[in-house]
Amino acid sequence: MTSTLIPRTADYEVKLTAEHETLRNTIRDFAEKKIRPIAAQIDHNNKIPPDLITQIAKLGLSAITYKEEYGGLNADLLSMVIALEELARVSAACSTVFVASHLVSEPINEWGNEEQKKRYLVPMVAGDKIGAHAMTEPGAGSDVAGIKSTAKLHGTHWEITGRKMFITNGEIADYYLVFARTSPAPSKAERHKGLSAFIVERGTEGFQVGSKIETTGLRGSQPSELILDRVRVPKDNLLGKEGDGFYIGVKTYDRGRIDVSAQGVGISQAAYEAAVSYAQTRTSFDSPLIEFQQVQYKLAEMAIGLHTARLLTYWAASLKDQGKDFVKAASIAKVTATETAEKLALQAMMIHGGYGVATEYPVERFLRDSQIIKTYEGTNDIQRLTIAKQLLRELKR
């Protein structure tokens, strides 16, 4: 067997500390007291109260992985995963606000200059500002290189024109990371070249938040259309170097998939808890459901899926924290955790019987939410392609 395919023991090291557990308990306590009572209302009304988003941010969700010099907590990605998991366990929509905002703060932290960090990253870390990552267009989703928005330099300003779709946080964001083409692609084989990333502030002339896009899940954090009509942004708002847009986007998604995996774990945990609780309290033929072997079998399968998804997600985060190659692990975790969320939601619905499809119970919401997390930050089919490409690279070493 090719030696590059044989894993090393150190590659599977996951260390959970007392600090991680303290963080988990803090987030869970907040979620139970402040979010659970209104989780169904958030889904029904398709809106998260703005003050709740502020409270979650001030709890540290916007600061966990950033350096203290920018107001951060200087903690690891595993800490972020645990926090997002606990939020998603109660409201996947609430967790989505921060998953999406990290797609702006992370690239500014990674590729921004000091002036950009002071101006944009610091208020985001403090929880005072929210971000929206604007890559997807009507004709460009998984095909990032296919975006049509353009940015032209006119002296001291860039002029951006284009239309973005399915932008999470589009309605509520303060800062938008907009990707546009600054030069034509050299060739069909190099379509990814010539893209650049720009920081655009809400309220900039020519920038308009279009219609909200109603989706089946993550209600409360619905995406929006963005319209950019000759939007003028300062030359200094270019993130990284001109032409770095594709690289910035792809590298940001590599890390962001771990956040989405955490959402999958949270939804899976919620479905598992709901199924166990219902099986203990609901009786049939004068016996609790949990005493029937068929139900026990389903619960066992749910436990297997839940723990597998959690361990793979923690593994991917730990590889990133250790500075190791985590790209394949992130894709594996994303596919596993999000598809586990769907599977466990369905199993929970079956255990609930007729009540499983009733909106007064949360299990049908878990199923709807799972459909969205399977799709964004790179569909699961794209993740399988990423895993295959990483395998081919390993074989060539």
Q: Assess contact for 342 and 365: CB atoms under 8 A.
A: no
Q: Assess contact for 70 and 53: CB atoms under 8 A.
A: no
User: Which of 245, 262, 297 lies at the terminal end of a domain, its last residue?
Assistant: 245
Query: Could you identify the residue written with the tokens 């893209």?
Result: 195
pTM comes to 0.94
pLDDT greater than 60 at residue 2: no
User: Which of 64, 99, 129 lies at the terminal end of a domain, its last residue?
Assistant: 129
Do 391 and 255 lie in a common domain? yes
* CA atoms in the 13 A half-sphere facing the CB of 175: 29
User: Which of 108, 129, 150 lies at the terminal end of a domain, its last residue?
Assistant: 129
User: In whole angstroms, what is the distance from residue 316 CA to residue 64 CA?
Assistant: 17
DSSP 8-state class, residue 291: G
Q: How many domains does the chain have?
A: 3
Do 262 and 385 lie in a common domain? yes
Do 329 and 370 lie in a common domain? yes
Do 224 and 259 lie in a common domain? no
Do 179 and 239 lie in a common domain? yes
Do 269 and 172 lie in a common domain? no
Do 70 and 121 lie in a common domain? yes
Range of the domain at 125: 3-129
Do 386 and 301 lie in a common domain? yes
Domain harbouring 378, CATH code: 1.20.140.10
Of 109, 154, 135, 115, the closest CA to residue 236 belongs to 115
Active site residue 377: yes
Do 232 and 283 lie in a common domain? no
Q: Assess contact for 272 and 303: CB atoms under 8 A.
A: yes
Q: Assess contact for 35 and 97: CB atoms under 8 A.
A: no
More confident residue, 165 or 396: 165
Do 286 and 338 lie in a common domain? yes
- C-alpha distances in angstroms, 240 versus 107, 119, 191, 249? 9, 15, 19, 11
Domain harbouring 213, CATH code: 2.40.110.10
User: In whole angstroms, what is the distance from residue 113 CA to residue 218 CA?
Assistant: 34
Of all residues in the chain, the percent with pLDDT exceeding 90 is: 83
- In tens, the pLDDT along 202-241 reads 999 999 999 999 999 999 998 999 999 999 999 999 999 9
Q: Which of 85, 106, 364, 377 is catalytic?
A: 377
Of 42, 44, 106, the closest CA to residue 70 belongs to 106
Do 294 and 322 lie in a common domain? yes
Which string of b and e fits 175-190 if b means at least 16 CB within 10 Å?
bbbbbbbbeeeeeeee
pLDDT greater than 90 at residue 141: no
Domain harbouring 125, CATH code: 1.10.540.10
